[in-house]
Structure 1
Amino acid sequence: MKKKIIIIGSGIGGLGAAALLAKSGYEVTVIEKNANLGGRANIFEAEGYTFDMGPSWYLMPDVFEQYFKLLDEDVSKHLDLIKLSPSYRVFFSNDEELPIVDIHSDLDKDLPLFEQLEPGITPKIKEYLKRSGEQYEMAKDTFMYRNMGFSLDFLKWDVIKKGIELNPFQTMQSYLNKWFQSERVKKILEYTLVFLGSDPSKTPAMYNIMNAIDFNMGVYYPKGGIYEIVKALVSINKKHGTQFMTNSPVSKIRVENKKATGVLLENGTVLEADMIISNADLWFTETHLLEKRHQTYPEKYWEKAVLSPSAFIMYLGLDRELEVLSHHNLRFGGDWKQNFKELFDTPQLPEDPSYYICKPTETDPDLSPAGTDNLFVLVPIPPGLTLSEADMASYRQKILNLMKTDLKLPAFEDYIVYERSYWSDDFRRDYNAYKGTALGMAHTLKQTLKRPLNYSKKVKNLYYVGAGTSPGIGMPICLISAELVYKRIQKIKTSKPLKSL
């Protein structure tokens, strides 16, 4: 008889784990509290505009290819991937000399810009990206696909040596200061840390590998939007027999004799299983779905955790096209360090924030009515803030005023024909996110090296997958997390990416 597995939550990690296990012969059921599958990779349509609600960058194409190959699938058969050029556009606020620059993820195209920003930089940036690429391959081959706590391999000198080569005890800020002088260059190389929800002054220098991902691989977009990834994973799951239950919040993980035996839904339904994998927010899983005596990571653990930012998001439908914007757009605030201080050290709504605008209609005009654009505007804000309606209205207006100035469009508000806002409380409500964080735990040194394990130490046959556990935040990283929990269940001890199931 097939062993039954219940997966709580249908984010990228949950869907990824479900497909691997279903293909390997398990009877898998995915239970989702919301109406849509996909977790934070959600979607909605309104008045002819289609909005991806969460992730918007397709990075690390090699990881997607690796994952799909495990399932005997060709990623190109599921996703129509378009390589963006430029990869993104950067707006330097209050910079009269060079207010707008394009980054192409093609060093031949980008070198003239870098030389303009820092004359004589060419040999340094080439060497920097070469090393970043080597470290990325090393990390992928040695650490990313390794289950923490699974073996004593970390005590071997060759592994320790490789770990030291990744500069884990330097911060990204200090590491970049040794390479470059231009503050604008350093901002361009640090922005990727936003995807990790981290402050460059506290993030290990090992994450310079993000620059290799950016500049050596490029940025892609799946035609139709990021939700096409969710559709692909759901399709593969159904092919292998995975069952789905939506609008079905779980109220409790059932434990008998220190062993997970099933779940209790909020409607009173009891579902039995041989194993449980939670892709729900890890804080919520541990502190709400388990009794205290069964918690590996109780409330006191989370009180000490460093969280990534929450976000203020605006989904905007415009009545026209905006030529000033590319597909991905980054606005860097004038005081970079103060911005991070407001996000992590003295929590408050940032005074001069860095923010991000996605205009998917630059690449995919079918996402809005002809001759119009839709925008996804994201401003990182601290988690856990208590905001009044007046606070939110005032900050919304502040961001719109900044956009008018940055984009040199004084009538910008008049172009908006559809608007929806999304705040910390929405992340709490929709995803049970601790303190409304948009991403989860930040990638500080401690929370990189000692991220929560992907299994419970207190309850047998209870596992975890997704951004809350190893390796961490991001869609491709969550697919690696899916492979790791698969290895854990199957008792596969290799630190290499799997080549077959």
Structure 2
Amino acid sequence: MPQQKAVIIGAGIAGIATAIRLAVKGYAVEVYEANSYPGGKLAEFEQNNYRFDAGPSLFTMPHYVDELFKLAGKNPADHFGYQKLDVVCRYFYEDGTRLDAYADSQKFAQELALKTGEPVAATLKHLANSRDIYSITNHVFLERSLHRLKTFLRWDTIRSIFRFPQIDPFRTMHKANAAGFKDARVVQFFDRYATYNGSDPYQAPATLNVIPHLEHHFGAYFPDGGMYSITQSLVKLAEELGVQFRYNYKVEEIVVINGIAKGIRAKGENILADVVVSNMDVWFTYKRLLSKHPQLHPKKILSQERSSSALIFYWGIKKQFTGLDLHNIFFSADYKAEFDHIWKQQDIYHNPTVYLNISSKYKTDDAPQGCENWFVMINVPANNGQDWDKLIAAARKNILAKLSRLLGEDIGKLIESETILDPRSIESKTSSYKGSIYGTSSNNQFAAFLRHANRSSKVKGLYFCGGSVHPGGGIPLCLLSAKITADMIK
């Protein structure tokens, strides 16, 4: 039989991983990317001798990357290296508390006990609960499609359904954390994990308390070449398998004839394929690429609440700070008020929680000698027409004041290079609707079931992968979406 052809729209991490999996299956694969570079949000750029990873900065569950090399018959260690972090993140509170979130559970529990007085047993119990949620949900919600009957006919799925109350879906994340801990700083620490998928701990289900298990069991890592080396190594693997990448190639349409995806249209040319996979945000997939077929649009899904977005300042800092680590968090004094501003008032709180990533702590050539590359991010609402220029100016002033106060240094005077990424530019660069980083939010207890499926129920040969579809956003889930999608394709 002639070799079948697959076309993938978008060279985000899920698109690349899907390309690898289909190439291993024997498909001729072509990836069409509107930008001049691969990676989507997982990109990089340089400015004034500083290098920055532009998007995701936390790397967990590296075995999902390793798996792709193993599928291709290669030893992962020969192609992609990384090191495990002893301290996942360093935390700074407004009251002066500073704590290190050790990857080791026992060590971390002792750190919380020392700094906050929270009993070791309470922390270990919470992490054990996180492990239990993972064991119940992983093979059902994360590794398989929720939109196929055979998923629910498996014995391990049936067993998980009987354990459904144990995943705590009917309380909010904050209520569960407040019930488990007495110290407000510890509650705030565990509430923060809701931001890992762009959600609000005061609305999102306590099921999201699964996330700490990923850090304190599987660990957090730093890729040897920085985060962008994930993209680079997987693109190289894909190319070795025969995958063709077409950059600066904006797809204009998914060609559908008689309910069958026949290929795509790009640069005025029809490109035929047996399988079409969209790694583009599903909102834009339908509104732009399937605009001629409004009857195919899933109106409820396209109208779902979007996840939060981000405002990022990339600063070249002409000094090194020994008290800072690779990952750093400077907490807000009033977490509830901060999330109310994001989700209810649709603006930015005056004292936001600030995330600071400094890859030059591990990859020294990311900054000139004696300097550091600061990736400074706050969570902000999706773009709904706010006056972003005004909001950005105020946020920059407030962030600088906060960091200067907590670090005892006038940070503004140390900035010698700056680039800004906001919800508008996130949308324009990555086709993420409204600049939302994770597609739809997880503020609903049934959010896992409400995400778009990895296969079209109306168009034969049309599939979806990436953060806007099942199982969700973030590097591990995007890689899992590629696995689910590729497994569906015969």
Compute the TM-score of the two structures, normalised by the length of structure 1.
0.92
Q: 1:233 and 2:231 equivalent?
A: no
Q: Distance in 2 between matches of 1:142 and 1:243?
A: 33
C-alpha deviation, 1:191, in angstroms: 1.6
1:264 match? 265
Whether the 8 Å contact between 2:24 and 2:71 is mirrored in structure 1 is: no
Which SS does the other structure have where 1:147 is aligned? coil
Is the Cα contact below 8 Å between 2:137 and 2:160 reproduced in 1?
A: no
* Residues 67, 479 of structure 1: 8 Å contact kept: no
Q: Paired residue for 2:50?
A: 49
Cα deviation, residue 89, structure 1 = 0.7
Rate the CA distance shift 1:442–1:73 in 2: closer, same or farther, 3 A. Answer: farther
1:246 maps to amino acid? Y
Q: Report the CA distance shift for 1:75/1:182 in structure 2 as closer, same or farther (over 3 A).
A: farther
Percentage of identical aligned residues = 30
| Number of the residue aligned with 1:342 | 341
Given residue 423 of structure 1, which amino acid in structure 2 is its aligned partner?
D
> For residues 392-471 of structure 1, what are the structure 2 equivalents within 5 Å?
392-410=392-410, 412-444=411-443, 445-471=445-471
Stretch of structure 1 that moved more, 289-298 or 213-222? 289-298
CA distance in 2, matches of 1:129, 1:71: 35
Return the alpha-carbon distance in structure 2 between the equivalents of residues 105 and 190 of structure 1: 18
* Structure 1 equivalent of residue 137 of structure 2: 139
Match of 1:353, as an amino acid? P
Superposed displacement of residue 431, structure 1:
1.4
What amino acid does structure 2 have at the position aligned with 1:124? A
Flag the 1:66–1:124 CA change in 2: closer, same or farther, 3 A: farther
Contact 1:287 1:299 in 2 (8 A): no
- The code of the aligned residue for 2:309 comes to S
Amino acid at match of 1:459: V
Aligned residue for 2:489, secondary structure, equals helix
Residue 302 (str. 1) matches residue 311 (str. 2): no
Alpha carbons 2:351, 2:398 under 8 Å: kept: no
Conserved 8 A contact 1:42-1:54: yes
Question: For the residues of structure 1 that align with 2:118 and 2:41, how far apart are their CA atoms?
Answer: 42
Contact 2:350 2:395 in 1 (8 A): no
In 2, distance between residues paired with 1:177 and 1:161?
Answer: 26
Partner of 1:19: 20
The correspondence of residues 81-120 of structure 1 with structure 2, limited to 5 A, is 81-93=82-94, 95-96=95-96, 98=97, 100-119=98-117
1:340-365 Cα shifts (integer Å, max 9, x gaps): 11111221122221120001111111
CA deviations on 1:311-346 (whole Å, 9 max, x unpaired) are: 111111122212232110011101111111111122
Report the alpha carbon displacement of residue 31 of structure 1 after superposing the two structures with TM: 0.4
For 1:154, the equivalent position in structure 2 comes to 152
C-alpha distance in structure 1 between counterparts of 2:24 and 2:424, whole Å = 37
* Structure 2 residues without counterparts, runs of 5 or longer: none
Q: Which amino acid aligns with 2:438?
A: L
- Distance in 2, matches of 1:206 and 1:300, equals 23
Q: Say if 2:174 is the partner of 1:173.
A: yes
Aligned length: 484
- SS of alignment partner, residue 10 of structure 1: coil
Distance of 1:136 and 1:68 partners within structure 2? 25
Q: Provide the residue aligned with 1:373 in structure 2.
A: 372
SS in 2 for 1:87: strand
Residues 40-84 of structure 1: per-residue CA shift (max 9 Å, x gap): 101111221111000000012343344443333333222221222
Match of 1:498 in 2: none
Distance 2:322 2:118 in 1: 32
TM-fit CA distance, 1:108:
3.4
Contact 1:90 1:330 in 2 (8 A): yes
Contact 1:49–1:367 (8 Å) recurs in 2: yes
Contact 2:310 2:422 in 1 (8 A): yes
- Matches of 1:119 and 1:63 in 2, distance apart? 37
Q: Which residue matches 1:495? A: none
Q: Match of 2:130, as an amino acid?
A: S
Which secondary structure state, in structure 2, belongs to the residue aligned with residue 349 of structure 1?
coil
Letter in 2 for 1:59: T
Name whichever of 426-435 and 109-118 sits farther off.
109-118
| CA displacement 1:264-305 (0-9 Å, x = unmatched) | 11x3122111111000111000111103535544456433x1
The answer on whether the counterparts of 2:382 and 2:435 sit within 8 Å (CA) in structure 1 is yes
Give unpaired runs (5+ residues) of structure 1: 491-501
What is the distance in 2 between the residues matched to 1:107 and 1:215? 6
Following the alignment from structure 2 to structure 1, what is the Cα–Cα distance between the partners of residues 189 and 28?
A: 46
For 2:80, the aligned partner's letter is L
Moved more, 191-200 or 67-76: 67-76
**Change beyond 3 A, Cα 1:239–1:162:** farther
Cα deviation 1:395-449 (Å, max 9, x = unaligned): 3222222221122212x11211111011111012111221121222112323222
Tell me the residue number matched to 1:493.
none
User: What is the DSSP-based 3-state SS (H/G/I as helix, E as strand, rest coil) of the residue aligned with 2:60?
Assistant: coil
CA distance in 1 between partners of 2:125 and 2:388 (Å): 49
- 8 Å CA contact 1:463, 1:485 repeated in 2: yes
Residue type of the alignment partner of 1:464: F
Amino acid at match of 1:26: Y
Range 213-222 or range 160-169, more displaced: 160-169
Which stretch shows the higher mean deviation, 69-78 or 56-65? 69-78
Q: How far has the Cα of 1:226 moved from its partner?
A: 0.6
Q: What residue is the counterpart of 1:188 in the other structure?
A: 189
Rounded to whole Å, the distance in 2 between the matches of 1:235 and 1:21 is 15
Per the alignment, do residues 29 and 294 of structure 1 end up closer, same or farther by CA in structure 2, a change over 3 Å counting?
farther
Query: In 2, distance between residues paired with 1:308 and 1:242?
Result: 32
The answer (yes or no) to whether the contact 1:294–1:459 under 8 Å persists in 2 is: no
C-alpha distance after superposition, 1:450-498 (max 9, x if no partner): 21111122221111001111111110111110010011112xxxxxxxx
